[in-house]
Protein backbone atom coordinates (compact mmCIF):
# COMPACT_ATOMS: atom_id res chain seq x y z
CA UNK A 1 0.00 0.00 0.00
CA UNK A 2 1.47 3.31 -1.10
CA UNK A 3 0.24 6.73 0.00
CA UNK A 4 0.53 10.40 -0.90
CA UNK A 5 0.03 13.52 1.24
CA UNK A 6 -0.20 17.13 0.10
CA UNK A 7 -0.30 19.65 2.92
CA UNK A 8 0.30 23.24 3.83
CA UNK A 9 3.66 23.85 5.47
CA UNK A 10 2.18 24.70 8.85
CA UNK A 11 3.29 23.57 12.29
CA UNK A 12 -0.18 22.07 12.95
CA UNK A 13 0.40 19.55 10.15
CA UNK A 14 3.28 17.81 11.92
CA UNK A 15 1.32 15.77 14.47
CA UNK A 16 -1.18 14.19 12.02
CA UNK A 17 1.65 13.45 9.57
CA UNK A 18 3.77 11.72 12.17
CA UNK A 19 0.75 9.78 13.44
CA UNK A 20 -0.01 8.59 9.91
CA UNK A 21 3.68 7.76 9.28
CA UNK A 22 3.90 5.52 12.34
CA UNK A 23 0.67 3.71 11.54
CA UNK A 24 1.70 3.23 7.90
CA UNK A 25 5.11 1.82 8.88
CA UNK A 26 3.64 -0.70 11.30
CA UNK A 27 0.92 -1.67 8.81
CA UNK A 28 3.65 -2.42 6.27
CA UNK A 29 5.36 -4.83 8.66
CA UNK A 30 7.93 -2.65 10.42
CA UNK A 31 8.51 -3.40 14.11
CA UNK A 32 7.18 -0.78 16.48
CA UNK A 33 10.53 0.42 17.80
CA UNK A 34 11.94 0.83 14.29
CA UNK A 35 8.70 2.50 13.14
CA UNK A 36 9.05 4.97 16.01
CA UNK A 37 12.62 5.79 14.97
CA UNK A 38 11.65 6.23 11.32
CA UNK A 39 8.73 8.43 12.34
CA UNK A 40 11.02 10.55 14.50
CA UNK A 41 13.26 11.12 11.47
CA UNK A 42 10.24 12.32 9.45
CA UNK A 43 9.14 14.53 12.35
CA UNK A 44 12.58 16.14 12.61
CA UNK A 45 12.90 16.76 8.88
CA UNK A 46 9.35 18.04 8.47
CA UNK A 47 9.72 20.40 11.46
CA UNK A 48 12.91 21.95 10.05
CA UNK A 49 11.26 22.25 6.64
CA UNK A 50 8.19 24.05 7.98
CA UNK A 51 10.24 26.38 10.18
CA UNK A 52 12.94 27.32 7.68
CA UNK A 53 11.91 26.60 4.09
CA UNK A 54 9.05 29.13 4.06
CA UNK A 55 10.02 31.87 6.54
CA UNK A 56 7.62 34.44 5.04
CA UNK A 57 5.42 32.86 2.36
CA UNK A 58 2.81 30.15 2.58
CA UNK A 59 4.15 26.94 1.09
CA UNK A 60 3.23 23.34 0.56
CA UNK A 61 4.89 20.00 1.16
CA UNK A 62 4.36 16.75 -0.74
CA UNK A 63 5.06 13.37 0.86
CA UNK A 64 5.15 10.00 -0.90
CA UNK A 65 5.10 6.71 1.02
CA UNK A 66 6.48 3.78 -0.98
CA UNK A 67 6.53 0.11 -0.04
CA UNK A 68 8.97 -2.17 -1.87
CA UNK A 69 10.24 -5.27 -0.11
CA UNK A 70 12.42 -5.30 1.84
CA UNK A 71 12.38 -1.51 2.09
CA UNK A 72 10.11 1.38 3.04
CA UNK A 73 10.85 4.76 1.49
CA UNK A 74 9.44 8.21 2.28
CA UNK A 75 10.02 11.07 -0.16
CA UNK A 76 9.42 14.66 0.96
CA UNK A 77 9.43 17.52 -1.54
CA UNK A 78 9.12 21.27 -1.04
CA UNK A 79 9.82 24.41 -3.08
CA UNK A 80 10.96 26.79 -0.37
CA UNK A 81 14.20 28.74 -0.02
CA UNK A 82 17.35 27.18 -1.54
CA UNK A 83 19.34 25.05 0.85
CA UNK A 84 22.84 23.56 0.83
CA UNK A 85 23.25 20.74 3.40
CA UNK A 86 27.05 21.05 3.15
CA UNK A 87 26.76 24.29 5.12
CA UNK A 88 25.02 22.46 7.95
CA UNK A 89 27.48 19.72 8.84
CA UNK A 90 27.19 18.56 12.44
CA UNK A 91 30.39 18.81 14.49
CA UNK A 92 30.62 17.26 17.99
CA UNK A 93 33.71 19.41 18.62
CA UNK A 94 31.73 22.59 17.98
CA UNK A 95 28.99 21.38 20.28
CA UNK A 96 31.46 20.90 23.14
CA UNK A 97 33.56 23.98 22.49
CA UNK A 98 30.99 26.51 21.31
CA UNK A 99 27.59 25.03 22.04
CA UNK A 100 26.96 25.13 18.28
CA UNK A 101 24.36 22.50 17.32
CA UNK A 102 24.28 23.38 13.61
CA UNK A 103 23.30 20.34 11.56
CA UNK A 104 22.16 18.31 14.55
CA UNK A 105 18.73 17.74 13.01
CA UNK A 106 20.11 16.34 9.76
CA UNK A 107 22.59 14.20 11.69
CA UNK A 108 19.71 12.76 13.73
CA UNK A 109 17.81 11.92 10.54
CA UNK A 110 20.88 10.09 9.17
CA UNK A 111 21.21 8.10 12.39
CA UNK A 112 17.56 7.07 12.40
CA UNK A 113 17.44 5.91 8.76
CA UNK A 114 19.36 3.40 6.69
CA UNK A 115 19.59 5.76 3.73
CA UNK A 116 19.12 9.53 3.58
CA UNK A 117 19.52 11.53 0.38
CA UNK A 118 19.12 15.20 -0.45
CA UNK A 119 18.46 16.09 -4.09
CA UNK A 120 18.49 19.67 -5.32
CA UNK A 121 15.97 19.71 -8.18
CA UNK A 122 16.55 23.36 -9.15
CA UNK A 123 13.29 24.99 -10.21
CA UNK A 124 11.49 21.81 -9.23
CA UNK A 125 12.43 22.39 -5.60
CA UNK A 126 14.19 20.18 -3.08
CA UNK A 127 13.72 16.51 -2.38
CA UNK A 128 14.59 14.46 0.70
CA UNK A 129 14.54 10.67 0.58
CA UNK A 130 14.46 8.52 3.71
CA UNK A 131 14.64 4.74 3.49
CA UNK A 132 14.56 1.98 6.07
CA UNK A 133 15.17 -1.70 5.48
CA UNK A 134 12.58 -3.96 7.07
CA UNK A 135 14.23 -6.27 9.57
CA UNK A 136 13.15 -9.54 11.09
CA UNK A 137 13.55 -10.57 14.72
CA UNK A 138 11.73 -13.84 14.95
CA UNK A 139 13.38 -16.23 12.49
CA UNK A 140 16.34 -17.39 14.59
CA UNK A 141 14.70 -20.78 15.16
CA UNK A 142 15.20 -21.91 11.55
CA UNK A 143 18.31 -23.98 12.34
CA UNK A 144 16.55 -25.57 15.34
CA UNK A 145 13.66 -26.53 13.07
CA UNK A 146 16.06 -28.10 10.56
CA UNK A 147 17.85 -30.13 13.23
CA UNK A 148 14.60 -31.50 14.61
CA UNK A 149 13.07 -33.11 11.51
CA UNK A 150 13.97 -36.12 9.37
CA UNK A 151 16.30 -35.52 6.43
CA UNK A 152 14.76 -35.53 2.98
CA UNK A 153 16.83 -38.56 2.06
CA UNK A 154 14.79 -40.53 4.62
CA UNK A 155 11.56 -39.79 2.75
CA UNK A 156 10.97 -42.65 0.33
CA UNK A 157 7.79 -41.44 -1.39
CA UNK A 158 8.65 -38.64 -3.78
CA UNK A 159 5.11 -37.89 -4.93
CA UNK A 160 4.54 -34.16 -5.33
CA UNK A 161 1.64 -31.76 -5.11
CA UNK A 162 1.67 -28.22 -6.53
CA UNK A 163 -0.48 -25.69 -4.71
CA UNK A 164 -0.92 -21.91 -4.90
CA UNK A 165 1.19 -20.04 -2.37
CA UNK A 166 -0.67 -18.49 0.58
CA UNK A 167 0.56 -16.28 3.38
CA UNK A 168 0.48 -19.32 5.68
CA UNK A 169 3.36 -20.78 3.62
CA UNK A 170 5.74 -17.92 4.46
CA UNK A 171 7.60 -19.67 7.29
CA UNK A 172 7.96 -22.90 5.34
CA UNK A 173 9.40 -20.92 2.43
CA UNK A 174 12.03 -19.34 4.67
CA UNK A 175 13.03 -22.78 5.95
CA UNK A 176 13.13 -24.20 2.42
CA UNK A 177 15.43 -21.39 1.31
CA UNK A 178 17.68 -21.97 4.31
CA UNK A 179 17.88 -25.75 3.77
CA UNK A 180 18.77 -25.20 0.12
CA UNK A 181 21.15 -22.24 0.30
CA UNK A 182 22.03 -21.55 3.95
CA UNK A 183 22.08 -17.73 4.06
CA UNK A 184 23.54 -17.20 0.59
CA UNK A 185 20.30 -16.67 -1.38
CA UNK A 186 20.23 -13.27 -3.10
CA UNK A 187 16.59 -12.40 -2.23
CA UNK A 188 17.25 -11.73 1.45
CA UNK A 189 13.65 -10.88 2.32
CA UNK A 190 12.67 -14.53 1.81
CA UNK A 191 14.46 -15.36 5.06
CA UNK A 192 11.98 -13.08 6.83
CA UNK A 193 8.58 -14.85 7.04
CA UNK A 194 6.69 -11.70 8.04
CA UNK A 195 7.91 -9.81 4.99
CA UNK A 196 6.96 -12.60 2.60
CA UNK A 197 3.61 -12.96 4.31
CA UNK A 198 2.92 -9.25 3.82
CA UNK A 199 3.90 -9.39 0.14
CA UNK A 200 1.58 -12.32 -0.54
CA UNK A 201 -1.28 -10.83 1.49
CA UNK A 202 -1.01 -7.46 -0.28
CA UNK A 203 -0.95 -9.08 -3.72
CA UNK A 204 2.64 -8.10 -4.51
CA UNK A 205 3.34 -11.65 -5.66
CA UNK A 206 1.67 -14.96 -6.41
CA UNK A 207 3.09 -18.39 -7.10
CA UNK A 208 3.22 -22.07 -6.41
CA UNK A 209 4.70 -24.28 -3.72
CA UNK A 210 5.58 -27.97 -4.13
CA UNK A 211 5.09 -30.37 -1.23
CA UNK A 212 5.83 -34.04 -0.81
CA UNK A 213 3.26 -36.59 0.39
CA UNK A 214 4.46 -35.90 3.92
CA UNK A 215 3.77 -32.18 3.47
CA UNK A 216 7.40 -31.10 3.31
CA UNK A 217 7.96 -28.01 1.10
CA UNK A 218 10.55 -28.85 -1.57
CA UNK A 219 9.91 -26.26 -4.30
CA UNK A 220 8.81 -22.66 -4.55
CA UNK A 221 8.45 -20.28 -7.51
CA UNK A 222 6.68 -16.90 -7.73
CA UNK A 223 5.71 -14.08 -10.02
CA UNK A 224 6.41 -10.64 -8.57
CA UNK A 225 3.84 -8.20 -9.94
CA UNK A 226 4.94 -4.85 -11.35
CA UNK A 227 3.63 -1.79 -9.55
CA UNK A 228 2.69 0.19 -12.66
CA UNK A 229 1.89 -2.34 -15.38
CA UNK A 230 0.08 -5.65 -15.93
CA UNK A 231 3.32 -7.60 -16.12
CA UNK A 232 5.35 -9.69 -13.69
CA UNK A 233 8.82 -11.00 -12.99
CA UNK A 234 9.45 -14.71 -12.53
CA UNK A 235 11.77 -14.91 -9.57
CA UNK A 236 12.39 -16.41 -6.16
CA UNK A 237 12.82 -19.91 -7.56
CA UNK A 238 14.13 -22.78 -5.47
CA UNK A 239 14.07 -26.58 -5.54
CA UNK A 240 15.53 -28.46 -2.59
CA UNK A 241 18.76 -30.26 -3.68
CA UNK A 242 17.54 -33.89 -3.11
CA UNK A 243 14.52 -33.17 -5.32
CA UNK A 244 16.28 -31.61 -8.29
CA UNK A 245 16.36 -33.17 -11.77
CA UNK A 246 12.80 -34.45 -11.26
CA UNK A 247 11.11 -31.87 -13.49
CA UNK A 248 9.83 -29.70 -10.64
CA UNK A 249 11.18 -26.44 -12.05
CA UNK A 250 9.48 -27.12 -15.38
CA UNK A 251 6.18 -27.98 -13.67
CA UNK A 252 6.33 -24.83 -11.55
CA UNK A 253 7.17 -22.59 -14.52
CA UNK A 254 4.25 -24.01 -16.50
CA UNK A 255 2.01 -23.43 -13.49
CA UNK A 256 3.21 -19.81 -13.16
CA UNK A 257 2.53 -19.12 -16.83
CA UNK A 258 -1.00 -20.53 -16.51
CA UNK A 259 -1.63 -18.59 -13.29
CA UNK A 260 -0.38 -15.40 -14.96
CA UNK A 261 -2.70 -15.80 -17.94
CA UNK A 262 -5.69 -16.34 -15.65
CA UNK A 263 -4.81 -13.15 -13.74
CA UNK A 264 -4.60 -11.07 -16.91
CA UNK A 265 -0.82 -10.66 -16.78
CA UNK A 266 0.26 -9.45 -20.24
CA UNK A 267 3.89 -10.52 -20.11
CA UNK A 268 6.57 -12.05 -17.91
CA UNK A 269 10.13 -10.92 -17.36
CA UNK A 270 12.98 -13.16 -16.31
CA UNK A 271 16.01 -11.41 -14.78
CA UNK A 272 19.07 -13.64 -14.81
CA UNK A 273 22.45 -12.84 -13.30
CA UNK A 274 25.10 -13.04 -15.98
CA UNK A 275 27.27 -15.11 -13.64
CA UNK A 276 24.56 -17.77 -13.59
CA UNK A 277 23.79 -18.98 -17.12
CA UNK A 278 21.53 -21.80 -15.84
CA UNK A 279 18.75 -19.25 -15.22
CA UNK A 280 19.23 -17.92 -18.73
CA UNK A 281 18.89 -21.42 -20.18
CA UNK A 282 15.68 -22.05 -18.21
CA UNK A 283 14.14 -18.82 -19.52
CA UNK A 284 15.12 -19.64 -23.08
CA UNK A 285 13.60 -23.12 -22.83
CA UNK A 286 10.19 -21.59 -22.05
CA UNK A 287 10.18 -19.17 -24.97
CA UNK A 288 11.63 -16.09 -23.30
CA UNK A 289 13.76 -13.84 -25.54
CA UNK A 290 16.59 -11.56 -24.40
CA UNK A 291 15.79 -7.87 -24.77
CA UNK A 292 18.14 -5.98 -22.43
CA UNK A 293 21.46 -6.26 -20.63
CA UNK A 294 21.72 -4.07 -17.54
CA UNK A 295 25.35 -3.52 -16.60
CA UNK A 296 26.64 -2.92 -13.05
CA UNK A 297 23.07 -3.03 -11.81
CA UNK A 298 23.40 -5.24 -8.72
CA UNK A 299 25.93 -6.01 -6.02
CA UNK A 300 28.14 -9.10 -6.06
CA UNK A 301 26.47 -12.41 -5.30
CA UNK A 302 27.44 -14.63 -2.39
CA UNK A 303 25.52 -17.61 -3.66
CA UNK A 304 27.05 -20.78 -2.25
CA UNK A 305 26.43 -22.80 -5.44
CA UNK A 306 28.69 -20.77 -7.67
CA UNK A 307 31.78 -18.69 -7.01
CA UNK A 308 31.86 -15.27 -8.64
CA UNK A 309 34.47 -12.61 -9.21
CA UNK A 310 33.43 -9.66 -7.05
CA UNK A 311 35.85 -7.25 -8.67
CA UNK A 312 32.93 -5.40 -10.28
CA UNK A 313 29.17 -5.01 -9.75
CA UNK A 314 27.10 -7.71 -11.41
CA UNK A 315 24.99 -7.40 -14.53
CA UNK A 316 21.55 -8.80 -15.34
CA UNK A 317 20.21 -10.22 -18.59
CA UNK A 318 16.56 -9.32 -19.15
CA UNK A 319 14.36 -11.91 -20.91
CA UNK A 320 10.71 -11.38 -21.88
CA UNK A 321 7.78 -13.68 -22.64
CA UNK A 322 4.62 -12.02 -24.05
CA UNK A 323 1.35 -13.56 -22.87
CA UNK A 324 -1.06 -11.18 -24.62
CA UNK A 325 -1.79 -12.25 -28.21
CA UNK A 326 -3.02 -8.72 -28.97
CA UNK A 327 0.40 -7.12 -28.45
CA UNK A 328 0.74 -4.95 -31.57
CA UNK A 329 3.39 -2.30 -30.85
CA UNK A 330 3.08 1.08 -32.56
CA UNK A 331 6.37 2.79 -31.84
CA UNK A 332 8.73 5.63 -32.66
CA UNK A 333 12.23 4.18 -33.03
CA UNK A 334 15.11 6.64 -32.48
CA UNK A 335 17.58 6.84 -35.36
CA UNK A 336 20.54 5.70 -33.28
CA UNK A 337 18.97 2.35 -32.35
CA UNK A 338 16.39 1.95 -35.14
CA UNK A 339 17.86 -1.18 -36.75
CA UNK A 340 18.79 -2.95 -33.52
CA UNK A 341 15.36 -2.37 -31.97
CA UNK A 342 13.67 -3.68 -35.10
CA UNK A 343 15.78 -6.82 -34.82
CA UNK A 344 14.77 -7.26 -31.19
CA UNK A 345 11.07 -6.98 -32.05
CA UNK A 346 11.45 -9.60 -34.77
CA UNK A 347 12.24 -12.22 -32.08
CA UNK A 348 8.59 -12.11 -31.01
CA UNK A 349 7.05 -12.25 -34.49
CA UNK A 350 4.47 -9.59 -33.65
CA UNK A 351 3.02 -6.98 -36.03
CA UNK A 352 5.13 -3.85 -35.65
CA UNK A 353 3.91 -0.42 -36.68
CA UNK A 354 6.92 1.91 -36.96
CA UNK A 355 5.73 5.50 -36.80
CA UNK A 356 7.50 8.55 -38.17
CA UNK A 357 7.83 11.93 -36.49
CA UNK A 358 5.71 13.42 -39.29
CA UNK A 359 2.82 11.21 -38.12
CA UNK A 360 2.75 12.95 -34.75
CA UNK A 361 0.64 16.08 -34.29
CA UNK A 362 0.58 16.81 -30.56
CA UNK A 363 -0.55 20.43 -30.71
CA UNK A 364 1.07 21.01 -27.31
CA UNK A 365 3.81 18.59 -26.24
CA UNK A 366 2.81 19.18 -22.65
CA UNK A 367 4.78 18.85 -19.46
CA UNK A 368 7.77 16.57 -19.13
CA UNK A 369 6.93 13.88 -16.59
CA UNK A 370 9.62 11.73 -15.00
CA UNK A 371 9.95 9.81 -11.75
CA UNK A 372 13.15 8.91 -9.93
CA UNK A 373 13.72 5.84 -7.76
CA UNK A 374 16.74 4.29 -6.03
CA UNK A 375 17.87 0.79 -5.17
CA UNK A 376 20.09 1.84 -2.33
CA UNK A 377 21.89 -1.44 -1.61
CA UNK A 378 22.89 -1.76 -5.28
CA UNK A 379 23.84 1.91 -5.64
CA UNK A 380 21.63 2.36 -8.69
CA UNK A 381 19.03 4.90 -9.75
CA UNK A 382 16.22 4.61 -12.31
CA UNK A 383 14.34 7.41 -14.05
CA UNK A 384 11.05 6.65 -15.78
CA UNK A 385 9.97 9.24 -18.35
CA UNK A 386 6.21 8.92 -18.83
CA UNK A 387 5.96 11.93 -21.14
CA UNK A 388 8.60 13.69 -23.26
CA UNK A 389 7.46 17.29 -23.04
CA UNK A 390 8.85 20.50 -24.48
CA UNK A 391 11.15 20.95 -21.47
CA UNK A 392 12.63 17.45 -21.47
CA UNK A 393 16.26 18.54 -21.82
CA UNK A 394 16.12 21.19 -19.09
CA UNK A 395 14.26 18.79 -16.77
CA UNK A 396 16.76 16.02 -17.48
CA UNK A 397 19.69 18.39 -16.89
CA UNK A 398 18.22 19.33 -13.52
CA UNK A 399 17.70 15.66 -12.63
CA UNK A 400 21.28 14.74 -13.58
CA UNK A 401 22.72 17.60 -11.55
CA UNK A 402 20.78 16.40 -8.52
CA UNK A 403 22.44 12.98 -8.87
CA UNK A 404 26.02 14.20 -9.21
CA UNK A 405 26.71 14.04 -5.48
CA UNK A 406 25.15 10.59 -5.01
CA UNK A 407 27.50 7.59 -4.96
CA UNK A 408 26.10 5.39 -7.73
CA UNK A 409 27.28 2.50 -9.91
CA UNK A 410 24.72 3.03 -12.66
CA UNK A 411 21.77 5.18 -13.73
CA UNK A 412 19.01 3.80 -15.97
CA UNK A 413 16.44 5.87 -17.79
CA UNK A 414 13.33 4.54 -19.52
CA UNK A 415 12.26 6.46 -22.63
CA UNK A 416 8.75 5.85 -24.05
CA UNK A 417 8.59 4.41 -27.56
CA UNK A 418 4.85 4.63 -28.09
CA UNK A 419 3.51 8.07 -27.24
CA UNK A 420 5.82 10.59 -28.96
CA UNK A 421 8.97 11.00 -31.08
CA UNK A 422 12.03 10.43 -28.93
CA UNK A 423 15.01 11.01 -31.22
CA UNK A 424 16.03 14.36 -29.71
CA UNK A 425 15.81 12.99 -26.16
CA UNK A 426 17.89 9.90 -27.01
CA UNK A 427 20.58 11.98 -28.74
CA UNK A 428 20.85 14.34 -25.75
CA UNK A 429 21.19 11.39 -23.39
CA UNK A 430 23.86 9.81 -25.60
CA UNK A 431 25.85 13.06 -25.48
CA UNK A 432 25.63 12.73 -21.71
CA UNK A 433 27.16 9.22 -21.72
CA UNK A 434 24.00 7.14 -21.73
CA UNK A 435 24.25 4.03 -23.89
CA UNK A 436 21.90 1.29 -25.00
CA UNK A 437 20.40 -0.94 -22.33
CA UNK A 438 17.65 -2.68 -24.23
CA UNK A 439 14.02 -2.98 -25.18
CA UNK A 440 11.57 -3.19 -22.27
CA UNK A 441 8.19 -4.36 -23.63
CA UNK A 442 5.02 -3.34 -21.72
CA UNK A 443 7.17 -2.21 -18.80
CA UNK A 444 5.11 0.86 -17.75
CA UNK A 445 1.33 1.16 -18.23
CA UNK A 446 1.57 -1.75 -20.70
CA UNK A 447 3.66 0.47 -23.03
CA UNK A 448 7.04 -0.34 -24.59
CA UNK A 449 10.12 1.59 -23.50
CA UNK A 450 13.74 1.96 -24.50
CA UNK A 451 16.06 1.58 -21.52
CA UNK A 452 19.33 3.52 -21.63
CA UNK A 453 22.05 3.22 -19.02
CA UNK A 454 24.90 5.33 -17.73
CA UNK A 455 27.64 3.12 -16.27
CA UNK A 456 29.60 4.95 -13.59
CA UNK A 457 32.22 2.30 -12.74
CA UNK A 458 34.79 0.56 -14.96
CA UNK A 459 33.47 -2.70 -16.43
CA UNK A 460 35.24 -5.73 -17.89
CA UNK A 461 32.73 -7.19 -20.34
CA UNK A 462 34.70 -10.46 -20.46
CA UNK A 463 33.30 -11.21 -17.00
CA UNK A 464 29.72 -10.94 -18.28
CA UNK A 465 28.50 -14.40 -19.33
CA UNK A 466 25.49 -14.89 -21.60
CA UNK A 467 24.08 -18.08 -23.10
CA UNK A 468 22.13 -17.44 -26.32
CA UNK A 469 23.26 -15.97 -29.64
CA UNK A 470 20.76 -13.13 -29.23
CA UNK A 471 22.15 -12.29 -25.80
CA UNK A 472 25.70 -12.39 -27.19
CA UNK A 473 24.74 -9.91 -29.92
CA UNK A 474 23.17 -7.68 -27.29
CA UNK A 475 26.27 -7.83 -25.11
CA UNK A 476 28.57 -7.00 -28.05
CA UNK A 477 26.37 -4.09 -29.13
CA UNK A 478 26.45 -2.56 -25.65
CA UNK A 479 30.16 -3.28 -25.18
CA UNK A 480 31.07 -1.50 -28.43
CA UNK A 481 29.05 1.56 -27.47
CA UNK A 482 30.53 1.55 -23.95
CA UNK A 483 34.12 1.37 -25.21
CA UNK A 484 33.47 4.11 -27.75
CA UNK A 485 32.85 6.56 -24.90
CA UNK A 486 35.80 8.49 -23.44
CA UNK A 487 36.47 6.78 -20.10
CA UNK A 488 36.36 9.15 -17.12
CA UNK A 489 36.91 6.91 -14.09
pLDDT in tens, 382-433: 999 999 988 899 999 999 999 988 999 999 999 999 978 899 999 999 999 9
Query: pLDDT category, 69, cuts 50, 70, 90?
Result: low
Please tell me the distance from the alpha carbon of residue 127 to that of residue 23, in angstroms, as a whole number: 23
Query: pLDDT category, 126, cuts 50, 70, 90?
Result: confident
> For residue 77, is pLDDT > 80?
yes
CA torsion, ordered 439, 444, 446, 450, to nearest 10 deg: -20
pLDDT at 359: 65
pLDDT at 301: 52
Domains of the chain (ranges, CATH numbers): 3-133 (3.30.565.10), 142-265 (3.40.630.30), 330-484 (3.40.630)
Are residues 271 and 317 in contact, defined by beta-carbon separation less than 8 angstroms?
yes
pLDDT at 450: 98
CB-based contacts of 249-253 (< 8 A; 24+ apart in sequence): 249/219, 249/221, 249/282, 251/160, 251/162, 251/210, 252/162, 252/207, 252/208, 252/210, 252/219, 252/220, 252/221, 253/221, 253/282, 253/286
Q: pLDDT by residue (tens digit) across 428-458?
A: 999 999 999 999 999 999 999 999 999 999 9
pLDDT at 151: 47
What percentage of the chain carries pLDDT values higher than 90? 55
pLDDT at 276: 74
Tell me how crowded residue 198 is: count the other CB atoms within 10 A of its CB. 22
Q: pLDDT by residue (tens digit) across 270-316?
A: 998 888 788 888 889 999 999 999 999 987 555 555 555 667 899 99
Query: pLDDT category, 23, cuts 50, 70, 90?
Result: very high
Residue 124 gets which letter from DSSP?
G
Query: pLDDT category, 98, cuts 50, 70, 90?
Result: low
User: Partners of 161 in the beta sheet?
Assistant: 211
pTM: 0.83
> For residue 146, is pLDDT > 70?
no
CA-closest candidate to residue 179, choices 256, 244, 123: 244
pLDDT at 180: 85
**Residues 6 or more apart whose Cβ sits within 8 Å of residue 155:** 212, 214, 216
Question: How many CA atoms lie within 13 Å of 8's alpha carbon, on the beta-carbon side?
Answer: 5
Amino acid sequence: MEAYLYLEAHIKAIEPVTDFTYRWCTAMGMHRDEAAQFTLAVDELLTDMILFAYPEDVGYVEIWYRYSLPQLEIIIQESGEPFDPENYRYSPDKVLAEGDFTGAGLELVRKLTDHFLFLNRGRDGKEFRLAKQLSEKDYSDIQQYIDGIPSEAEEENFSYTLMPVTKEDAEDIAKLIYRSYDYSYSKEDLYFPKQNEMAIEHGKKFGTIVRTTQGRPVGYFTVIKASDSLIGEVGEAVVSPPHRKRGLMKRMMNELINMSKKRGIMGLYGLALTVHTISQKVNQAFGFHSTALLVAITRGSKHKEFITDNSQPKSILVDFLPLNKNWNPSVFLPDRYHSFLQKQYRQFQVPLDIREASDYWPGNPGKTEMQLSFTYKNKTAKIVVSNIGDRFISSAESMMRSLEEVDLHAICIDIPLENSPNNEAVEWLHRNRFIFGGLMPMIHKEKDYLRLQKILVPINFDLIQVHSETAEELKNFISEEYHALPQEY
